[in-house]
Chains A and B, each alone.
Chain A
Amino acid sequence: MQFPITNIMQAFTLLDGLVVPLDRANVDTDAIIPKQFLKSIRRAGFGPYLFDEWRYLDHGEPEMDCTHRPLNANFVLNKPQYQGAQILLARENFGCGSSREHAPWALEDFGFRAIIAPSFADIFYNNCFKNGLLPIALPAATVAALFQEMVDGYHLLIDLDAQQITTPSGQTITFEIDGNRKYRLLNGLDDIGLSLQHADAIAAYETARTQRAPWLF
């Protein structure tokens, strides 16, 4: 069987992005995008509601026009020096909680392309790759050092192919990512199309499993 492979998401190669520090651990997906916005049946348009309860002083509801809502001036994403940030720097266990893919959709829609933290929750980490968002896990001490040296206008250069981050002072930090995920992200490839290339193997598996577990089929 032959199936087409399509490019559905933005490919990720080089990113020279402004960094915003979100100095919190265990940022959960309920905080990233509160549940009332999950009622949408669309995939786009979640950016204005990203971190809704932290970003605004009022209570957000779906389809609300956010341009005139009162902003929480103390929340880091609202500070003038971080406008246009594409890289989010956070503490451990980022993206824990609910599996909602609306969380990476909201981060991506807002303009983020990469998130750097000491660790990520598994489902969130996985969901990021489906949406052209690069989660980078670095040792806690390295992340702490980045928080330390952050100044206004702090940029990082992320080279996915080389698996390398370059800081403004010229220091380079390498990061881990598994080969398959890297390949898909670099090329913006459609996972389903790639998996369907193994359609014959799936069919053969089903046949074999029907013998072992006939009650399932």
Chain B
Amino acid sequence: MPGKTLYDKLWADHVVYTEDDGSALIYIDRHLLHEVTSPQAFEGLRLAGRKPWRTDRNLAVADHNVPTTDRDQGIADPISRLQVETLDSNCAEFGITEFAMDDTRQGIVHVIGPEQGATLPGMTVVCGDSHTSTHGAFGALAFGIGTSEVEHVLATQCLVQKKAKNFLVKINGQVGAGVTAKDIVLAIIGAIGTAGGNGYTIEFAGEAIRSLSMEGRMTVCNMAIEAGARAGLVAVDDVTIDYCRGRPYAPKGADWFMAERVWRELHSDVDAVFDKVIELEANAILPQVTWGTSPELVVAVNGHVPDPILETDTVKQQSMVRALDYMGLVAGQAITDIAVDKVFIGSCTNSRIEDLRAAAAVAKGKAKAASVKLAMVVPGSGLVKRQAEAEGLDQIFLAAGFEWREPGCSMCLAMNADRLEEGERCASTSNRNFEGRQGYGGRTHLVSPAMAAAAAIAGHFVDVRQWPVV
């Protein structure tokens, strides 16, 4: 019998019951909640007279609607405010732990889970949010769910799921200087497309992935969903174990040693068989910039906006034409000639301490271009913010003319006051460049934190590998 993949192991460990058609009831170890996708789930529980199966596996935080300035003034938009207040009252009513807006632990749900040790290796982690794939960086089976499923998890601590297929994405060798986890994952999406991972769980492996910090691995897994895979995974190793040790929700004492022994088995067997495998060479990956309205529409920074004429697939060709029109770009334009109006450094993809350090290293001692209207840095959590301030990163950003904000989703999806105006172009470290994502008519280019900071200073995209870092 062939060996098992990491995904096979995680799946088998959580099956409660299997139906005749192969769908299974699987147990959920950690349920994270936020204000946008939970109100109707709590309402459903109330209407059916149901109680949560157990409260201690749930952790809630408001992140999408929260303001990133003047927190003490509360939320100005009454509809946003009601949604956040609804989360507060639901958590109070059902006995669920919530990090409220004024708690230093508040932040983006996918940043705080790992930071608190609420996400641990070997767990199943779900949240009513597609970027739950982030937590797969810990060798945890983590995926986004809809609101009906949020209600289902609350009521049963389980979900009905069908097992996905196994997809191995291997990045051989090491990336060059200036090339980050974000560039790796954008290159992967460019290679396999936004539907490439549909129906699969992707395990990211290879030397370049092993060499990433936990922050970098989270960036990669975060965007597994942009490749169509509900879940991304990275095997557990010393980097994982070291990150988890001592976190508030992590096991302590004898429990820790037992957990560590179990966690070290969380990798695919050498003879495991995957349904699909692709391998990319790390040294061929350069800093990436998306040019269109889907993350797969991406090129290297030294490249040009592609020409739809050269695309043979007519459906793809039409999408490219529409994307160019929406983005206000012309085929053949050099990426480094594209000027930006705004810069956003943040989101669950790139708002952790390492991301802020990378951006600060580029911005240090320099100034934002006068043509750039706004460059904002939004830390992923209150604790990331505090850490960055302790390292003086906030001062570097402020001196360079960047804004230093309070934690939350912010301009990743512009549900709060932070947004692009119609026609504005943004270098963004977030994960989606869809039409209107960062504001009605806004134009998004996805890049790494270092690339975003460099664009803020130069006023246009630049190859960060040629950037003089002091």
Residues of A within 8 A of B (CB): 6, 23-26, 28, 30-31, 34-36, 38-43, 53, 59, 62-63, 91-93, 96-102, 104, 119-123, 126-127, 130-131, 178-181, 190-192, 195-196, 198-199, 201-202, 205-206, 209, 212-216
Contact = CB atoms under 8 A, between A and B. Distances in A.
Nearest to B409: A35
B151 A192 contact: yes
Interface of B: 16-17, 19-23, 25, 27, 29, 36-37, 39-40, 43, 48, 50, 53, 64-65, 77, 79-80, 82-83, 86, 122-123, 128-130, 143-149, 151-152, 155-158, 160, 162, 164, 194-195, 198-199, 228-230, 251, 255-256, 258-259, 262, 294, 315-316, 318-319, 322, 413-415, 432, 434-437, 440
Contacts of A104: 146
Contacts of A36: 415
A123 B164 CA distance: 12
B146 A96 contact: no
B79 A192 contact: no
Contacts of B128: 99, 101
A99 B145 contact: yes
A76 to B, nearest CB: 14
Contacts of B413: 30, 35
B79 A119 contact: no
A3 to B, nearest CB: 9
A201 B16 contact: yes
Contacts, number: 186
A91 B36 CA distance: 28
13 contacts: A39-B36, A39-B65, A40-B79, A43-B40, A93-B194, A98-B129, A99-B37, A100-B37, A101-B128, A179-B20, A195-B158, A206-B27, A215-B256
A93 B228 contact: yes
The 5 closest A-B pairs by CB, nearest first: A215-B251, A130-B148, A101-B146, A41-B39, A127-B146
Contacts of B29: 216
A192 B228 contact: no
B156 A96 contact: no
Nearest to A4: B48
Nearest to B296: A26
A37 to B, nearest CB: 10
A215 B440 contact: no
Contacts of A99: 37, 128-130, 144-146
Contacts of A26: 194-195, 294, 319
Contacts of A43: 40, 43, 147
Contact of B152 (A62, A181, A195, A215): A195
B37 A178 contact: no
Contacts of B229: 122
B27 A93 contact: no
A201 B25 contact: yes
**Which among B37, B147, B228, B413 has the greatest number of chain A C-beta atoms within 10 A?**
B147
B130 A119 contact: no
Nearest to A183: B21
